[in-house]
Amino acid sequence: MTKPLRVLLTGFDPFGGESLNPSWEAVRRLHGHILRGHTVVAAQLPTCFGKSRARLQTLLKRQAPQLVVCVGQAGGRSRISLERVAINVDDARIPDNDGRQPVDRPIVRGGPAAYFSTLPIKAQLQALQQAGIPAEISQTAGTFVCNHVFYGLMHALRDSPQVRGGFVHIPFLPQQAVAHAGAPSLALETIVTGLATLIDRALARRRDMKVQAGATH
């Protein structure tokens, strides 16, 4: 009997006064889809320090996925952001959904300063661009719950090199952008297609490509 092949895909509940979170709206539409023989399992995480990581740990144990992509809202960005690195600090500009606002607190006491994504982000960038979907490599996932979950994920996977994981930030949906003067957006369909595209590329390709996508600062 073979082990089932799974992709774990997480989104968050709404925060910061929004009535929806595009990350959850997008990932739930891929729940149950089969991509290169892997079943997508979509799950929601709370936008809370601590709880979100605990929920993610439970999901990792229960689902035993081969690939994990956590997705979060980045209001103000214009494209799908493939995150390169998670850092070991919580520094909350706004309270989380439990009202907690940690400042300069390590996520894992004594943990390394950072973990790199183990997704093939450059190959994913190329796949998105070829599909006509605006995308970019991001050098920071911030210091709020998204980075917290991303660091927690990579810490959990640190001794399981066969399981790859990473984080993707997505823009506001158009209906959210209405209320944020000047903020860019992406249509839900574009985001959903983008997530399917980047998961497909990760499943197709174990090693990343070397394509420059850095930042001078």
Q: Which residues bind its own copies (CB under 8 A)?
A: 16, 72-79, 81, 84-85, 87, 89-94, 101, 103-104, 112-116, 122, 129, 132-136, 139-144, 146, 169, 174-175, 177-178, 181-187, 189-190, 208, 210-217
d(CA 204, CA 200): 6
Whether 25 is catalytic is no
Which is nearer to its own copies, 62 or 93 (by Cβ)?
Answer: 93
> Kindly report the CA angle at 35 between 29 and 36, in degrees rounded to 5?
180
CB of 111 to its own copies, least distance (A): 11
Which is nearer to its own copies, 53 or 84 (by Cβ)?
Answer: 84
Active-site position among 38, 48, 83, 148: 83
Contact status, residue 66 vs residue 124, Cβ threshold 8 Å: no
Half-sphere exposure of 10 (CA within 13 A, CB side): 29
d(CA 82, CA 139): 9
Q: State the maximum Cα–Cα separation within the chain, in Å, rounded to a whole number.
A: 55
Give the closest residue to 85 by CA, choosing from 32, 39, 154, 28.
154
Q: How far is CA 65 from the centre of its chain?
A: 15
CB of 103 to its own copies, least distance (A): 5
Which is nearer to its own copies, 36 or 93 (by Cβ)?
Answer: 93
Whether 146 is catalytic is yes
CB of 44 to its own copies, least distance (A): 18
Which is nearer to its own copies, 38 or 84 (by Cβ)?
Answer: 84
CB of 15 to its own copies, least distance (A): 9
Active site residues: 83, 146, 169
